[in-house]
Structure 1
């Protein structure tokens, strides 16, 4: 992953493999993530995201070399979790606890928890400290979970579909709080989500994964320089092809087409139509489609649950 930082990588992955029977969940995956970055891990269901996150959090062994904050996740998981926080789409909080008791509990078990910060975050919500968690809405539980996690001075925050099932207002509030109240240049955030368009403007880097293969590892700055999307009429498309320009992916649009190019001078393309930087969603479709050309179909991913910690 391209970066201008001089700091050591937070996560170093080299040649990662993971296999469940005949199914290859991860196939020779290598990348680095540096401090002060917000990285989107993008891929469809069964792409290998869960296996990769489990390995990073020390919940599963992976073949290959993996270092997180200079630690081996499985062997040094206790030390790792002092510096790593995790939020999933279903917050794991006992329903019988009251909100203030949840704060007391985290304060008692985590040495880097700041009670004042947690209370300040909750003061911005409508959550009553005396309410039981089972009485809170899904959005409120997510807000509570975020408040507890953001009050921990972690170097790495892993978010796995953190806003799944929330309405658009809660989702916007979630990411606003994340940027305004948590993130700084010393922290790193790794996000997986299917709602790519909602986090695109937050990201500094992306990792595309599909069928266990890493399809793209790039900074957002590099994407804007490396890829161009051209909107053309049907006649304009023909002129592009006649000029010997070959897109890596094209999609029919009303009255014309959208052509995606890699490594082509934008000024050259501008002569044929309207040019812009592709969205993350469009780029993902293009890169996956290109990568899968000629690649044999692989077995369907098994239903891998988070609770399976020994695989």
Structure 2
């Protein structure tokens, strides 16, 4: 199946600062991509490029469309939730629903009401009377009720408590995601999304430092809690990262057979967070 997104050699400068540095990647339909990076790494610039909100150098197409030249057509198939939910403070919840229903042909009032029914938001309340968390909940309900082919989430649960964050990702999988939809998520709470991801990209200083499927990562990266007598042998194998847990060395390896590593100690799959830290340290070095 053809890709829905293809980026080749994307570059973007803000003065002397290079926000994107030769970024290339592809994304197939029916995938959930985690775009992970520290603050200032280039995540938001990359998303703005995809959404046609900022000019760039290089080649980029989404659904065969140029996001900068064909943005109106693109946005019929794409939805975006920014890290800051922006809604007019004077508007009532019911009016916000009416407005989105009036401007977007793929909006489902029934689905929006279903999402809101799981919150404490009243339809006659104005946005200015809602808590920060409720504003985010309203924004999510409005956006997720749109039948988009590509959903882009930039820190979608920022400001929400852990119960709603968990509920949101469950809804995303059970009520929204299917083989015809594609999702891109950026978040600093990587431990909350790694179980739903199919693909992973790490970006640092505008450069992609990891781009692979979660299946391939599970087959390539292993973390070993090394037994004391094998520490010297483990270090000689040049692990990507070494940390200590309760006085015992934990080494992260790539490209080494699992059977060989099992001779050194207990082998496990690294978390996305641990892999991210290791990659960032490697880039810094």
User: After TM superposition, is the score higher than 0.5?
Assistant: yes
CA distance in 2, matches of 1:134, 1:105: 17
Matches within 5 A, 1:139-178: 139-178=133-172
State the alpha-carbon separation in 2 of the partners of residues 240 and 50 from structure 1. 38
Q: Which residue of 2 aligns with 1:202?
A: 196
Whether 2:72 is the aligned partner of 1:72: answer no
Q: Is the 8 A contact 1:67 1:73 kept in 2?
A: yes
Residue in 1 that maps onto 2:259? 267
Matched pairs, number: 285
Matched, 1:130 2:124: yes
Task: Tell me how far 1:173 sits from its aligned partner.
Answer: 1.6
**Cα distance in 1, alignment partners of residues 79 and 145 from structure 2:** 10
Q: Is the 8 A contact 1:237 1:256 kept in 2?
A: no
In 2, Cα distance between equivalents of 1:188 and 1:134: 33
User: Which range is displaced more, 131-140 or 30-39?
Assistant: 131-140
Residue 250 of structure 1 deviates from its aligned partner by 1.1
TM-score by length of 1: 0.89
Match of 2:218 in 1: 224
Structure 1 range deviating more: 97-106 or 143-152: 143-152
CA distance in 1, matches of 2:88, 2:174: 28
TM-score by length of 2: 0.96
- State whether structure 2 residue 244 is matched by structure 1 residue 252: yes
Deviation at residue 225 of structure 1 after TM alignment: 0.2
Look up the SS of the partner of 2:60 in the other structure: strand
User: In the TM superposition, what is the alpha-carbon distance from 1:232 to its structure 2 partner?
Assistant: 1.4
Deviation at 1:291, TM superposition (A): 3.1
The alpha-carbon deviation at position 154 of structure 1 amounts to 0.4
Q: Could you tell me how far 1:89 is from its partner in structure 2? A: 2.4
Counterpart secondary structure, 1:159: strand
The structural deviation recorded for 1:124 is 2.4
Aligned to 1:42: 36
Number of the residue aligned with 1:282: 274
Contact 1:35 1:188 in 2 (8 A): yes
Once superposed, which parts of structure 1, at least 4 consecutive aligned residues long, lie more than 6 Å away? none
1:67 deviates by 0.5
Query: What SS does the aligned partner of 1:111 have?
Result: coil
The answer as to whether partners of 1:48 and 1:212 remain within 8 angstroms in 2 is yes
What runs of 5+ residues in structure 1 fail to find an aligned partner?
1-6, 294-311
| Structure 1 vs Structure 2 CA RMSD | 1.3
Distance 1:291 1:10 in 2: 29
Contact 2:234–2:251 (8 Å) recurs in 1: no
Shift of 1:290: 2.3
CA contact (8 A) 1:234 1:255 kept: no
Contact in 1 for aligned 2:33/2:183 (Cα 8 Å): yes
Q: Deviations over 1:71-95 (max 9, x none)?
A: 1111111111111101122211111
Please say if 1:115 is aligned against 2:123. no
Stretches of structure 2 lacking an aligned partner (at least 5 in a row): none
In structure 1, distance between residues paired with 2:233 and 2:256: 16
Q: Tell me if 1:29 matches 2:23.
A: yes
Provide, for residues 53-86 of structure 1, a one-character-per-residue CA deviation record: whole Å limited to 9, x for no partner.
Answer: 1100110011000011211111111111111101
**Partner SS, residue 142 of structure 1:** helix
